[in-house]
Chain A
Amino acid sequence: MSTPILEAEGLVKAWGGVRAVDGVSFSLAPGEMLALIGPNGAGKSTCFNMLNGQVRPDAGRVRLAGQDITGLPPRAVWRLGVGRTFQVTATFGSMSVRENVRLALLSHHRRLLGLWRPASHLHTAEAEALLERVGMAAQADRPCAVLAYGDLKRLELAMALAHAPRLLLMDEPTAGMAPAERGALMQQTAAIAREAGIAVLFTEHDMDVVFGHAQRVLVLERGRLIAGGAPEAVRADPRVRQVYLGGGHF
């Protein structure tokens, strides 16, 4: 078996005395699609934010393809090949779609400090190719501020792809989208990931999305992993049903 692309080992994070994440360990194989699920407050977001350096773990390590990346800032994690999308989309509202992607490419090529040549002359073809991949080429000139929500999610994906990542972290990739759009976006994401051999780790509330696309599912509750494995096995796990439906008493 090859080296896992991502390994989390004993991750712990406490907020004001409460252990939001309490000893979480798992790994992700190259090209694998893994979903992290759990009820509200289970610690998914904290866990996620520790993986790309947004939150520093109190204990535990994160390794990317064997390299220890614990404590690196998000921008350094990105440089090492981890793309990220956010639960509430984060794009550059004052720019057009193309400029958003162009900026990710400028960062990829380490050309952010240019003061003279207009950015509009740089990496245009490359940006269009990325937009083409996520089906956004027709909207390249539109300001980000007028995009439909699903298109913003696609734009985020294109920006994450600009650095040719080995791993994509997607926090609730379909949140805030109309139900019909959700499947389409995930299908597209899965196709791109498969094609480029990118591993994907995502959190999600929409169970259709989770069980429709994940190869493996991890269930987090109160900061601990309580189940993990193939989707159908997880679905049948009595502990998981207990977490989602509550027991006979409370």
Chain B
Amino acid sequence: MEALAVQALNGLASASSLFLVASGLTVIFGVSRIVNFAHGSLYMLGAYLAWTFVSHGPLAELGGFWGFWGGVLLAALAVGALGAVLEMTVLRRIYHAPELFQLLATFALVLVVQDVALLLWGADDKFGPRAPLLRGSVEILGLRFPRYELFLIAVGPVVLGLLWLLFHRTRFGILLRAATQDREMVSALGVDQRLLFTAVFFLGAALAGLGGALQLPREAVTLHMDMAIIVEAFVVVVIGGLGSLPGAFLAALLIGELHAFGILVFPRITLVLVFLVMAVVLVLRPHGLLGRAPGAPPAGEQSPPLPRPLPRGLALAAAGALAGLLLAAPFLGDYPLILLADFAVFILFAASLHFIMGPGGMASFGHAAYFGAGAYAAALLLRHLAAPMEAGLLLAPFAAGLVGLLFGWFCVRLSGVYAAMLTLAFAQIAWSVAFQWVEVTGGDNGILGVWPSEWARGRLAFFYLSVLLCGAGVLLLRRAIFAPFGLALRAQRDSPLRAEAIGIDGFRIRWLAFAYAAAFAGLAGALFAFGKGSVFPTYLGIPRSVDALLMVLLGGVQTVSGPILGAIAYAGLQEQLARLTELWRLLLGLVILALVLFFPRGLAGALAHWHDGRRERRA
């Protein structure tokens, strides 16, 4: 009983931290409609800055109460200022860009902040001092409980209260609430939205910074804090309902307690619990606990450009390059062949995601689930039934397609950010099954010895096999885009109303497309597994989903050849930059930012544009 009470208190303490970050995220989204992936990075910066202020410089010399708490506050304000600067320099330029592009830009910021933090603070963990006045612990029901945790428990409701006062008792807060409901009307009443947006980023970023700074006495400051918190914060915001502060508070409590008690009640599925809850909430309440259906999108048609084949000249060049590569392959060493086989896999993986994102108009943050499903299907077949590679490669697309049918049935009902978050939730569920069902999947150790059949074991043979299968996969996806099914898929994206009015069942089309894409992701995953000789839960992890997303967005969503270019550019850039410099994330982030700001149509779009321009000049 006592242990349960203490566990409940632990849950409340982590709920508070979670709420600080989530509240900033939800406030920013409410007003600006930007889904700020970099919010976790701001949280991490808050922690690092607080560490610096508290342990170096004038505040550290001051020491004591003001030395610590002054440092924490200063860190929060500094992060807030950084948020305002980011809004003015980067985000302001992309308010009218598609949602996913905004996400890409904020993700680039994540990469940049990662390396900047590494540069400034180094790779080793930082430990802060204990908080003055809150050292030691108190006794609760005969068990010892740290004072600082008690303090944190109070911080959540206090911040909620302060935010309530801000939003209800100040002109600024009232304007923010009004803008959350109807931005256009607020501006028709004479309010300059730009100031409001900058201010809201300051506020949201400061809350994240405060959340991070307050972790200082609790845990080590590391470079992994950003990713760890952002996923949870997203979950909280989505469960609570995007834009709803009370919803975020409620959801933070829910998730905090779920973590605390999940360990006691369901020790076997702790990792999946949070995402299971999110999936259930979204299936039952598609806009979160206290969220509202977003208003209709602004009037005026935004027709995506016609997808078209590459211009003949570029297509010939591409075919020539591929032929040259196939001919030159026997003369390449092992390392380039491994690399090129990987590229082929990534191209198919990206093309499969593009199929649902481009023509389908759906977003997926969890496409790795199907990549991993294919990889595990092949590996399990090999391990438990001693089936050969050929059987594995044959089965993988079907297994992944089935998983896609199952998950997709839920996901394709939602739209926008909610749909994307539900795909993420299902991917995390799949990931934790792989991670925690140790008897079958080997857990964290994965499954080793997933080698190709004898004939394909050589690097050259495997390279050819990869190119053959991935090429076939890309071809099938491409044919589908221009076949009746692809036309119907684009139709339900362009105008759901009209599609329905000519007898097209949008749900069924999206659902089948989701499964079809999943099948090809599964084939890519199985090939990857045989290429590496092993499978691990990371195959289904968030980073791999994000990789695919970046490849598609970099290449350009609305071009058929986009994912191919994007996969080569992204994987190639990552590989090259990683070899050249330690700071590859920084460079990659900057490159992505530049692309978002200057080539909003992606690489393939920019290339086609350039090609058209040249032809016009010649004509």
Contact = CB atoms under 8 A, between A and B. Distances in A.
**Direct contact between A and B in the complex (CB less than 8 angstroms)?**
yes
Interface of A: 52, 54, 73-75, 78-79, 84, 86, 88, 90-96, 99, 102-104, 106-108, 111-120, 122, 143-145, 156, 159-160, 162-163
B304 A119 contact: no
B491 interface: yes
Contact of A115 (B301, B485, B498): B485
Contacts of B495: 90-93
Contact of B498 (A90, A99, A116): A90
A108 B503 contact: yes
Interface of B: 299, 301-307, 476, 479-480, 482-488, 490-491, 493-495, 497-505, 509, 512, 516, 558
Contact of B487 (A86, A99, A116): A99
Given A78-B503, A116-B479, A94 B305 contact: yes
B483 A117 contact: yes
30 contacts: A52-B501, A54-B500, A74-B500, A75-B503, A78-B503, A86-B498, A88-B299, A90-B495, A90-B497, A91-B494, A92-B498, A93-B303, A93-B304, A93-B494, A94-B303, A95-B490, A96-B306, A103-B491, A106-B488, A113-B485, A115-B476, A116-B479, A116-B480, A117-B484, A118-B483, A119-B484, A119-B487, A145-B301, A162-B502, A163-B503
A113 B502 contact: no
A143 B558 CA distance: 15
Contact of B505 (A75, A88, A102, A117): A75
Given A90-B495, A90-B501, A118-B479, A112 B306 contact: no
Contact of A78 (B307, B479, B486, B502): B502
Contacts of B491: 92, 95, 103
A102 B486 CA distance: 13
Nearest to B484: A114
A115 B502 contact: no
Contacts, number: 119
A210 to B, nearest CB: 23
A108 B306 CA distance: 23
Contacts of B480: 115-116
Contacts of A162: 502
Nearest to B482: A118
B562 to A, nearest CB: 14
Contacts of A52: 501
Given A93-B303, A104-B502, 4 more contacts: A75-B504, A78-B501, A145-B301, A159-B498
Given A94-B490, A106-B488, A143-B306, A120 B504 contact: no
Contact of A106 (B302, B303, B306, B484): B484
A94 B502 contact: no
Contacts of B487: 95, 99, 102-103, 106, 119
A102 B484 CA distance: 9
A180 to B, nearest CB: 24
B497 A159 contact: no
A53 to B, nearest CB: 9
A129 to B, nearest CB: 17
A46 to B, nearest CB: 15
Contact of A92 (B302, B482, B490): B490
A92 B494 contact: yes
Contacts of A86: 497-498, 501
Nearest to B497: A90
A91 B306 contact: no
B500 A73 contact: yes
A78 B307 CA distance: 28
Nearest to A156: B498
A93 B361 CA distance: 13
Across the A-B interface, the 7 shortest Cβ-Cβ residue pairs: A93-B303, A90-B498, A114-B484, A92-B494, A145-B303, A107-B503, A90-B495
Nearest to A53: B500
Contacts of A112: 484-485, 488, 504, 509
Interface centre among A104, A120, A160 (most CB of B within 10 A): A104
Contacts of A99: 487
